Structure 1
Amino acid sequence: MKVEDMKGGYTTGSCATAGMKAGLLALLDKSIVDQVVIENPQGQYIEVPIKAVEVLSDTEAKVTVMKDGGDDPDVTHGNDVETTVTLDDTGELRFRAGFGVGTVTKPGLAMPPGEPAINPGPRAMMKIVFEEHCVHGQGVTVTVSVPNGMVLAKKTLNHTLGIEGGISIIGTTGIVKPMSEEGFKNSLVPQLKVMKANGCETAVLVPGRIGQDLAEQVLGIHKNQMAETSNFIGFMLEKAVEVGFKRILIIGHIGKLIKLASGSFHTHNRMSDGRMESIVAYAALEGASQAVCEELFNCQTTESTFPILEREGLTGVYQRVVDRASLRSERYIANEAEVGIIITTLKGEILAMDKHAKEIGELEQWHIPCIS
């Protein structure tokens, strides 16, 4: 199914805003509604169904909205967002994080440390509702809760970004469009901004769990200094430079990072898959015979080449991979940063590292092992 044919939805920010509006209607107009229309900061109108309205007192109401992300693969899809509105006479609009909604603990995000993780987009939408329904002198405290938020947060990057206690209430437009590749890539960038804001001088990029576990458990790199890249290593290299990093270390499985050595920086197998070709080329440079090259070429995975390379005394291939991957990575970002490479096995054992990785490791005082 093409992205343009997929069903859209609304964000957690729209859920909270709709809940706020339905709560105010219940308290101020004595009207219980089953849907509301809210306005986003771009002037678009969004119709949101209301699951339940509960009037708790003359000044407080709780509204439940079920998040509907349409065809977007969002961890919050189908979960309830509960918004409690409490009237007061402060004349102000205030926000609180209820159960399952996080609190910002680190600088570098859209909201400062100590603030509820309710992003500027949802706050702007709720301000529109506040100004529409509240007369001068009336104040409102909006408390947003997500009953399943603590569980959902484990499936997000929130802990890495410094958001503790639950998920974020997000959305710049209030509308969920089916996730494009560009949208997913951009969702990875805040990791780098938080790292930089917290004083990190080296960005550690990890395509997946193998590199992350090695970095944290063996090398002693704190998880707050790591950013996941998924398949978008080139994109994250560029963004790391934009954020201001002059030193970058990439750690991951050889099957992923060997692609960098051949100049492929989008590493999804449908976009780039010359792993065997690269191994054969480096093996030939190490002196492999045509017969051994044929044997390597017929392997299905990089892991299955290991016994052959070991048997033939061709493990120098690994060093060629990291040296070339480092060179190509630095060339990719116009030599605006130093890039070190560490490649591993599926078990997280280090196969090789280039000289930049060793230098960066020593400078950062990580536990970089000696590799013969």
Structure 2
Amino acid sequence: MKKSNINSSDIKLPGHLREGVTTGTCAAAAARASVQWQISGQCPENICVDTPAGKTLCLSVVPEKFPACGVIKDAGDDPDVTDGCEVIARVSLLEETGDILFKAGEGIGRVTRPGLKLPVGEAAINPVPRKMIEEEIRRCVGDTGAEVEISIPGGEALAARTFNPRIGIEGGLSILGTSGIVRPMSESAVVESLKTCLSVAAAAEPEYICFVLGETGERRMREWLTRQKKELSRMEFVQMSNYAGLMLDEAARLRVKKILIGGFAGKLVKLAADIMNTHSHVADGRMETICTFAALAGAEQQFIRQLYECRTVTEAAQILRNHGMEYIWDAISDRAAEKCRLRMGGTGDVAVVFLDESGGLLGKSRNTEAITG
């Protein structure tokens, strides 16, 4: 199957990265094609769709079993899991005026947990795509009611590679998009996905939320909390990637009261220096932070220089251990927790746990037990 016929000159980015089309735009084009096929008796070869970003895209249509039409998703240069998938819409027109109703077809998930932009039980077709689909149908049939079934063959298997299982969307993919355009490696899209996970976790009203860096960090924290005989059903895990500050801001907005941040010290030690984006391209400060706390604990200059010359936190941790100064990790954890509480404006309590590369405990803030119970 050929990909959508996108006017690449209109969506070329600086640096030669090509933008793509959201599943929402594909669904809107496919839905309009389905309606036009029923009205004219002929499946259109192309459909032009106005996107919320202000760009009009002309997309190639794949005729399926009447009156279903498909559009092949082209993610441009973004490594999107749905790139190359066919988004199919089957529109059933009603005889009377009425609403546009949405149905999850093959490969489209359903909402099973509160906290998302859709109520529990609804097809995972987000509000902006719904509006786009409705506008395209209304252009053809006015106020006539309709039921729209959206499907993506193979979508259920692909959904396992997305955030959907974590946020309570089961059975398939979501139809997404707020601008109608896929921007390659969009940081804002990543952050919005993480915030959605936090929103769902907060809606479950756990006793506390555990922020982790990623999959490996979550696994290690699960293991550590289990060894501490903590009941995992009392809390929710949320991945924050490098965006500690932005996720703490969102937690404050959602009025989350208790947060545990846990994972590898190699990243999280930066929090003690008030570095709230832990990506290496943003800032480092790891050795400077460790050296500061070693100096405050009375370490001699030669020892501090040895720490300063370390290339990794793992190496520094071993040197601290060899000199009997591993206890400074608790002080660093305390400062990290303090900086996080300040980031939340004092609206919530935050504890911090540092683990080594094997998942062993390096240090924890003094309020950790108050958070985890």
Residue in structure 1 matched with residue 129 of structure 2 by the alignment: 122
Pick aligned residue for 2:104 from 88, 92, 97: 97
Q: 2: distance between equivalents of 1:3 and 1:335? A: 41
Taking the TM superposition and a 5 Å limit, the aligned residue runs for 1:263-302 are 263-302=274-313
For residue 8 of structure 1, what is the amino acid of its counterpart?
A: E
Q: Which of 24, 34, 38 is the matching residue for 2:35?
A: 24
Q: Separation in 2 of the partners of 1:227 and 1:104?
A: 18
Q: CA deviation at 1:117?
A: 0.2
SS, match of residue 251 in structure 2: helix
What's the counterpart of residue 159 of structure 2? 153
Output the amino acid matched with 2:166: T
Distance in 2 separating the partners of 1:14 and 1:230: 28
Q: Contact 1:97 / 1:117 at 8 angstroms: preserved in 2?
A: yes
Number of residue pairs matched by the alignment? 356
Return the TM-score normalized by structure 1. 0.88
**What SS class does the counterpart of residue 225 from structure 1 fall into?**
strand
Matched, 1:216 2:222: yes
Which residue of the partner structure matches residue 133 of structure 1? Answer: 140
Partner AA of 1:23 in structure 2: S
Structure 2 residues without counterparts, runs of 5 or longer: 1-11, 226-230
Provide the secondary structure at the position in 1 that maps to 2:165.
helix
Q: Give yes or no for contact 1:196–1:243 (8 Å, CA) kept in 2.
A: yes
SS in 2 for 1:99: coil
Which of 160, 174, 194 is residue 168 of structure 1 equivalent to?
A: 174
Query: What is aligned with 1:53?
Result: 63
1:74 CA displacement: 2.2
SS of the residue corresponding to residue 101 of structure 1 reads coil
Bigger mean CA offset, 346-355 vs 236-245: 346-355
Secondary structure in structure 1 of the residue aligned to 2:57: strand
Aligned equivalents of 2:96, 2:360: Cα separation in 1:
60
- Residues 213-272 of structure 1: per-residue CA shift (max 9 Å, x gap): 133344243597122111110111111001111222111110111000011111101111
Worse-matched range after superposition: 176-185 or 119-128: 176-185
Alignment of 1:1-372 (within 5 A): 6-40=17-51, 45-50=56-61, 52-56=62-66, 61-89=67-95, 91-92=97-98, 93-134=100-141, 139-219=145-225, 220-222=231-233, 225-362=236-373
RMSD, aligned α-carbons: 2.3
Cα distance change of structure 1 residues 147 and 222 upon mapping to structure 2, 3 Å threshold = farther
Q: Which moved more, 1:294-303 or 1:13-22?
A: 294-303
Pair 4,333 (structure 1): closer, same or farther in 2 beyond 3 Å: farther
Q: Distance in 1 between matches of 2:265 and 2:54?
A: 48
Distance 1:165 1:349 in 2: 36
Q: Distance in 2 between matches of 1:42 and 1:307?
A: 52
Question: Which amino acid is the alignment partner of residue 76 of structure 1?
Answer: T
Q: 1:360 to 1:3 in 2, by over 3 A?
A: farther
TM-score by length of 2: 0.88
Change (3 A) 1:161 1:223: farther
Q: Distance in 1 between matches of 2:341 and 2:86?
A: 46
